[in-house]
Every structure is written in structure tokens, then in C-alpha cells.
Structure 1
Amino acid sequence: MTTTALRARTEHAWARFAARRLARLLVSVWVLITAAFLIIHLIPGDPVRAALGPTATPELVAARRAALGLDDPLWQQYVDYLRGLFTGELGTSMTSGLPVSQVLGDRLPATLELALLAFAVAVLVSVPVGLLFAVLTRGGRRRPAELGFTATSIVLAAIPEFLLAVALVWIFGVNLGWLPVAGRDGAASYVLPVLALALAPAAVLARILRVETLAVLRADHVRTARAKRLPDRHVYLRHVLPNSLTAAVTLGGLLLGSMVAGTVLVENVFAWPGLGSTIVSSILAKDYPLVQGIVLVYGVGVLVVNLLVDVALALLDPRSTIREG
């Protein structure tokens, strides 16, 4: 096959790859929008009555329902909701009276900061720890270190975020008094929420990276590099690390999505002013527009992360993209 033909085939494969991923993203977003709309409308109770309170007159409740379009048929409400999404109108919060887009704009930065900082900590901890224990325990060496690493990572990975958050609050906030346990005021207030979100994913990533690194260390190209007496740093950074990251990138993207979702519980433990604490209060108040907006943000965020993972994997191994085409 000539160079020109190979280049053309590669370009076509990338185009097909991009088209498939974009189509999958659009279908997933539509399913997400529809599911969020239907689920929130299946919650029993009257959202208008919940928002106005038990003392509101029936006339006021009826007028509010008509103004919000809740008396329309369900299909009409769905069409109006889709039309609003396309025009950037997410509706008005029933409890605060503020536009949903404004509430999302106020709360989203806090959630993104928490999730991205936790993900960065998880990656910065897991990559060197996974590589280190792979090198230390390769070939069955240092069995106690391997057992200790495995046991610790399993325990940390098994603890739910909210339970870990409560434990951190009790130890470092209540007993020791070293760190604040509520709010988002200053760098110290980030420490406990970030740790609560990051520890379990860091343990999972470190285990996966150790296993992948052990497999790469047994590969022929690594043996060849060692036979050439290349420096250890060169072998690990140029030959081992890049080939160990494929599975870690895939899992890391999935963990980032789960960490974004995990902010819901962690934010409520630490009274963090983000979307997680907002969605809980919105569900209790049956605030349809706000709940739908927050669910949409969380869902689209996870879908975009999955798309970025697919692109990253394709860039790390372009041959897989050509094979898919």
C-alpha cells in the first residue's frame, strides 16, 4: 500500500470515527433529556404546592400551575421543554424564582473545582504509586509489600465516598480540629472534600496501573531496552509508562464521571455550595425545572468525559481507530 493510500485510509477512518462518536453522543443526550423529563414527572406530589407552602390558596396554586404549563398534556410539556433547551431557556426555579441557567452558573464552578481537583489528586497519587509498586514487586519480589499494597487499595476502593467523608470530618475536623468541615472558604476547606472524592479512585487507578505495568515489564521491547543497557529512567519513562497508560486512561475517564456524580453525596456532607447539594434540596422541594437542569448538566458532563476518553485512546493507539474504520 502506497503512502498516499495509507494516508487517505487513515483520514477516512478518523472521519468515520468522529461521525460515529458524534452520533452516539447526540443519541445519548436525547435519551438523557427524555429520561430526566419523564422521571421527574413520575415523582408523586404537587411541586407547586410544595413551592408555595401549605397555606397557599387553591386559586394561587391553580394560577401558578397554569403559568408554569403544568396543566398542559405531558407531550406538550415535553415539546416545550425541548424548545426551551434549543433556545437556551431552561425555565425558572419554582423555589427561588431565579432562572435555572443562573442557578447552574452560580453552583457549577464549585462542583467542577471539587471534581477536577479530586481527579488531579487521584492521578498524581496513583501513577507514581502504581509504577513504584510494580517495579518493587515485579517477578514475585517483596511479597509483603505486594500484600500490603493490595490490601490497602482494596479497603480504600471499597469505602463509599460519603462514609469516607464522614470519617474525615470526625477525625480531622471534630477530634483534631485541623481543618474546616463545612463551606467553601479558603484553601483549607478544599482538603477534606477533595480527599473524600480522590482516595478511592486513586486506589483503583494505582492497582490497575500496577497490573498493566507488570505486564509491560515482561514485554519484549522492554527486555530489548534493558539489553541495550539503557538507563532505568529512560526505560520506565519512554518504554514502560506510555504502554501502561491505555487501561489507566479508560478507567480514569470512567472514574472521573463517577467522581462528578459522587460530588452529590460529598457536597451534602461538607455543605459545599455546588450542584450536588442543590439537587438534593431541589428533589425534596419537587423543583422540576431545577432538577432537570442539574441532571442534564451531570449527564452531559459524563457523556463528554466518555467522548474525551475515546479520543484520548484513539490518539494513544491510532491503529485501533483504523481497525474500527
Structure 2
Amino acid sequence: MNNHTQLPQYIYTYACSEEELSLCQLERRSLFEIETEKPIIKSAVKLDPSRSPFIKERLDIMYESDDLADICKQVEDIDLGDQTFKLIFMKINDLEKDQKISYKGQRAVERDVGWHFVAEADLHNPDHLFGIVPFEGRWYFGKYQKSEAVWLHHLKKPREYSTALSTRLARAVANIAVPNPEGIKAIDPCCGIGTVLVEALSMGIDIVGRDINPLVTDGSRENIAYFGLNGDVKTGPISDVTTHYDVAIIDMPYNLYTHATPEDQLSILKHARRFADKVVVITVDTIDHMIHEAGFSISDRCVARKSVFSRQVVVCE
């Protein structure tokens, strides 16, 4: 059956390690409100695929059908003028092992569909990229966009310390906290050297930073400036925050630079409850009792592992 989609729809594919699966799924629930074990989703939410450290590509659906021959017919309607194209068979899909299409078969699909374009193919420097993918028993065709690993550019910072969050975790946490940045004001009141700030600012999130330690706020400012970003970082205790924010991201202090007792941690949460509607807490220890005592309820969570070390990411509202 031929079905030309009426509302814009998008297909995203995912890749992550076993250690990152819980974090990846929490980020996906936050961005798309979709829970699935599959590495591929369909959504009406349009998102730059480079925002997530786990999204590999996005397909902007133009045509869908049960029948590949039907897709081929519809492709003939595309007018590229004198511009060139390339068609990519998306390798990440939901086909079962016994249904998987071989490398040779994938190239055959690309050739069969590509032959129907009224335009010239260019494998190396095309003007337009298109993709095709099997999903939930149907074929989907559309404009193709590959994710760029923006977070990779942020790995080497001028100022670092060993217990800082990884850039991948920081980027995912920023997405979990602010899935839709429009009109949202965020704060990282224990920002350390600014790993979360760099990722959030690079995605256009309106976020400010603060830390009680002047050594790390200097480092945070230096890191933000190093990547050509603009961000406001103040030095001072969380108790001095008087502005209201939609969301706060708190990587609980626990290291040599900013040692916090359980009483300090509870105080941080109580202050966050005062000035933020939603808080995403990153913690090494289980602090559910503190979160509840501070007046929050836990709406979602995950565990982010790295070898033997693990952190909890807890969404509180």
C-alpha cells in the first residue's frame, strides 16, 4: 500500500555500548518520550541528530510503503534539476537476524532505487543525501542527515580534573535536563570546570554556571572561552542563588576539590528545590532519601557506568 506521509515524521538510529545503554534510554525517553529496546525509532519530533552522543543519523521521511517497487515509482517525482545525489541504505534497522540484508543486497537496493532518480548520482560529493531503511515491516525513504560527534571536539580542554564527567555523559545529561531548549532557563550551580556547561552551551541551551570554588570557576570560564562559547559563570555558594530557573543540573560534589558532607548535599538539594522546578542530579551514592527530604519526587533515572565506576542520573520534579 502506498502511503505518502502527511505530517512530518523522522527516523533516528542509535548506537551505544552496553555500559551506556541505561543512559541512552533515559536520554531517548526525555527527547522523544519513546521507550524501546530497538536501535531505531520513528517520531514527529525534529531534532538535530548531532545533539545526542548516541544518535547516528536522521531520516526525514518523504515516502513510505510496504513495497520497495512503490518507493521506486515515487522517487521518479523528485526533481533535483542539474544537482547530484547519493542514496544510503541505513545499516541500523530492526530486521531480525534471519532477515538481515547482506552488504551486496544493500548495494542492490541503493542501485534499484537510485536508478529511478531523474538526476545524476555522485558517490563522493553529492549535492543531496537520501536514505532508505526497512522499519516495522515497511520501507522508508527520505532526506538523510548524519550525526556529527560534536562532543568529540570537547574532549581536550585546557583545564581538566580526573573526576569530571565525560563529555558524552555531560551531553546526554544536558539533553535529559533540557529536551526542548526554547524558552528554558537552566543553571548548573555546582559547575566545576564546566563540562556540562560546554555541552549545553554548544547546543544553544540558555544555561548559567556557579561554583563555590574560585579555582574551578576560573577553569570553567577558560574552558567555555576555549571553544568559542559565551557563558556566565559566577563564584559563590548555591545559597546565594535568587533567580528562578526552569531546571538545574547538579553533579553532586564528592571529590578532593569540593568535598561535600551528606549535610552539604542535602542543603544543595533544598536550595535547588527553592529556585528550580526540575533538577537532574548526578550522584555516585544513592541519595533518594535526601531527594525526597528536599521536597522532590523522582520521575526517571538511569545508571551511567564506566568500567567499575558508576554514576546515577536522577530526574527530580
TM-score (norm 2): 0.24
Whichever of the two has the greater Rg, that structure is 1
Query: Which is richer in strand?
Result: 2
Query: Which is richer in helix?
Result: 1
TM-score (norm 1): 0.24
Q: Which has the higher contact order (CA 8 A, sep 6+)?
A: 1
